[in-house]
Amino acid sequence: MDLILTQTLNGLVYGVLLFLLASGLSLIFGLMGVVNLAHGSFFMLGAFCGLSVIKLTGSFWWALLLAPIAVAMVAIVIEVFFLRPTYARGKLDQVLLTFGFSFILTDLTESIWGREMFGLDEPDLLDRSVEIFGSIFPLYRLALLGFGIFIAIVLWLFIEKTRAGAMVRAGVDDAHTAMGIGLNVPLLLTATFASGAALAALAGVVAGPLLNVFSGMDVEVLIPAFIVIVIGGMGSLKGSLVGSLVIGMADTFGKAYMPELSMFLIYLAMIVILLVRPHGLFGHQSASM
Amino acid sequence: MSAAAKSNDLYKWLAALALAIIIPVLFAGSYSLGLITETLIFAIAAMSLDLLMGYGGLVSFGHAAFFGLGAYGTVLLAVKLGFSVWLSALCGISVATVAAAAIGFFCVRMTGVAFLMLTLAFAQLIFSVGVKWRAIGGSDGIGGLVKPDLFLWSLADPLTMYLFTLAIFALVLVAMRRLIASQFGHALVGIRENETRMRAMGFATQQIRLVAFILAGFFGSIGGTLYALYNGFVSPDALSWGMSGMLLLMVVLGGAGSLMGPAIGAGVFLLMKHFVSSHTQHWLLVVGVIFVGCVMFFRQGIWGMLKRQAGGSAP
């Protein structure tokens, strides 16, 4: 019983990490049609920036604030100078381009921080355990769960209730018409790409105390994040949330109870969804691939 | 093309073949001979991807599946079941081709990014089996392939391995050039350019794409089989998306849709890897910058650049 509860919490926490990654990835695809293969690199860069900020300031909270900003700036450079000139050429050029950047960012990371494994320390405030219903839970993981819910609500409010969010939705539905009615689509694209990168970096910082921080952690999350948006649907926030939780739980329980088969089954699910519902479970028909 | 130009072309190819045989035999030490052999192996794999990517307009992010299946088939059957290596190689290629037919059946329904994701998913599915299944070596892979004899010579000798690989490379190159020059090849390019129109003209576009997918898998698995023969072992790396990405890079670097381009791309990539890795730690940076540079500025790749220069002097 205890084990199942712990696994559930771990699954949900992994789901939260995936959500932070997938929501950005999904919006970037929905709005710009860009399959961003450098998204895992933003996650990794976020974790490493967090590492340095913690070393400098001694505070996890500063890392949480500064690392996403730093990574967003990198993303802005990539979007404005490299992606933007290729939009007219079709979607595949951007796949190749971001694939190239994933190599560059990995090399950059190794040059700055080396190839060792690091870990981030949990903030002191959260570095303890709490007892709920007679079971012991690490507080940091519980807090992360709450943080994930908070971010999901903020994102939802932003997308559904603000003017900027309405522009994003308009862009996802039909970028041409959105441009036709006078939205500044290039700015919207840059902002979305940067925000997605910032969310990925945020995921990297909060994952720091849970996962190993090393050059190569980007690949480990990139493919699960893609599975999430394929299952949930490109361009759909709700899809990212549901997909993340499903994959987070499936992966955690799968690894615990059938370690040989879990990876296989998850890819199988991805294939089935791609074939049966190419726009995912919650995706908009127009935002399908 | 006139008959004279055609025979002129033939002489050029024969001269190239003669050079490819003579120069390494005379000059190369066994180390560089190995490098050239590896280049030819990856050239075969990159050309097979080019059939899909350059001529079919379908960017596959899962081509390692067929490369890896060919390699796994060869090593597994020979080492685990004691088949003769040649029989194993044929079985490996057959298995990969059948897999390409099965996977292609689903994948060719899609194009663009959906095709890319679906090929990635299928390749990862096969990769997950390779990594997790202990009986076939798991993540360590499987080794101990005894290199077979080819008539009087052993493939354990680098020179024999090179000449054998060169022969296969030449066969594959000729076969693929014929395919592309055939009606099938023209139809494939037509579908890339305008599928609706080709369908309206009565072409079974999905079937043609499927044939291209199967052929790409078949030729890719020949590369994989040679890779297994060359190394004597195979690991899930051969099935990984890193391998798929590397093949993709070779095609983009050399220039998609030109066959010779990806072959040159494979050579340049491996040569650079060899030299850059021995001089600096920043191999990945170089790969990334080349990739980004090719996409931004040299969309036609090395081959396209060479052709443009040649075209400038003789229109």
Report pLDDT for B68. 96
Residue B252 with chain A: CB contacts under 8 Å: 96
Contacts 24+ apart (CB under 8 A), B278-285: B281/A110, B281/A111, B282/A107, B282/A111, B283/A107, B284/A103, B284/A104, B284/A106, B284/A107, B284/A110, B285/A103, B285/A104, B285/A107, B285/A108, B285/A111
pLDDT of residue A68: 96
User: Span A212-230, mean pLDDT?
Assistant: 87
Handedness of CA B123, B124, B130, B133 (dihedral sign): negative
**End-to-end CA gap in chain A:** 42
d(CA A34, CA A172): 12
DSSP 8-state class, residue A38: T
Please tell me the predicted confidence (pLDDT) of residue B315. Answer: 35
Chain A contact for B292 (CB, 8 A cutoff): yes
The 10 Å CB-count burial string (b at 16+, else e) for B93-127 is: bebbbebbeebbebbbbbbbbbbbbbbbbbbbbbb
pLDDT, tens digit (0-9, with 9 covering 90-100), for A157-175: 988 888 888 888 887 777 7
Q: Does the pLDDT at position A235 exceed 80?
A: no
Q: Spell out the residues 6+ positions from residue B98 whose beta carbon is closer than 8 angstroms to its own.
A: none
Q: Give which of A28, A80, A92 to mutate to test B binding, by max B Cβ within 10 Å.
A: A92
Residues from chain A that touch B296, judged by Cβ atoms under 8 A, are 82, 85-86, 97
Mean pLDDT of the A129-150 span? 85
Inter-chain residue contact A264 with B128, CB threshold 8 Å: yes
Three-state SS for chain B is CCHHHHHHHHHHHHHHHHHHHHHHHHHCCHHHHHHHHHHHHHHHHHHHHHHHHHHCCCCCCCCHHHHHHHHHHHHHHHHHCCCCHHHHHHHHHHHHHHHHHHHHHHHCCCCHHHHHHHHHHHHHHHHHHHHHCHHHCHHHCECCCCCCEECCEECCCHHHHHHHHHHHHHHHHHHHHHHHHCHHHHHHHHHHHCHHHHHHCCCCHHHHHHHHHHHHHHHHHHHHHHHHHHHCCECHHHHCHHHHHHHHHHHHHHCCCCCHHHHHHHHHHHHHHHHHHHHCCCHHHHHHHHHHHHHHHCCCHHHHHHHHHHHHHCC
Domains (range + CATH), chain B: 33-313 (1.10.3470)
Residue A269 has pLDDT above 60, yes or no: yes
pLDDT digits (tens, 9 = 90+) for A181-196: 877 888 888 999 999 9
Give the mean pLDDT of chain A: 87
Interface of B with A in 265-284 (CB under 8 A): 281-284
Could you tell me if B59 lies within 8 Å of chain A, comparing CB atoms? yes
For chain A, what percent of residues have pLDDT higher than 90?
Answer: 39
Token duo for residue B289: 């910058």
Query: Across residues A36-41, what is the average pLDDT?
Result: 94
Identify from B115, B269, B277, B284 which residue to disrupt to test chain A contact, counting A C-beta atoms within 10 A and taking the largest count: B284
Distance of CA B174 to the CA centre of its chain: 14
Q: What is the pLDDT of residue B294?
A: 86
Q: Check: CB of residue A70 under 8 Å from CB of residue A205.
A: no
Separation of alpha carbons A228 and A19, rounded Å = 8
pLDDT in tens, chain B (315 residues): 556 666 677 777 777 777 777 777 776 677 788 888 999 999 999 999 999 999 999 999 999 999 999 999 999 999 888 888 899 999 999 999 999 999 999 999 888 888 998 999 999 999 999 988 888 888 888 888 888 877 778 887 888 888 899 999 999 999 999 999 999 999 999 999 999 999 999 899 999 999 999 999 999 999 999 999 999 899 999 999 889 999 999 999 899 998 999 999 999 999 888 888 888 888 889 889 988 988 888 888 888 888 888 765 433
Provide the shortest C-alpha distance from residue B228 to chain A (in Å): 25
Residue from B118, B295, B299, B300 whose CB has the most chain A CBs within 10 Å, to mutate: B295
Closest CA to B260 of B298, B307, B216: B307
Q: Identify which of B47, B43, B51, B48 has the alpha carbon closest to the alpha carbon of residue B209.
A: B51
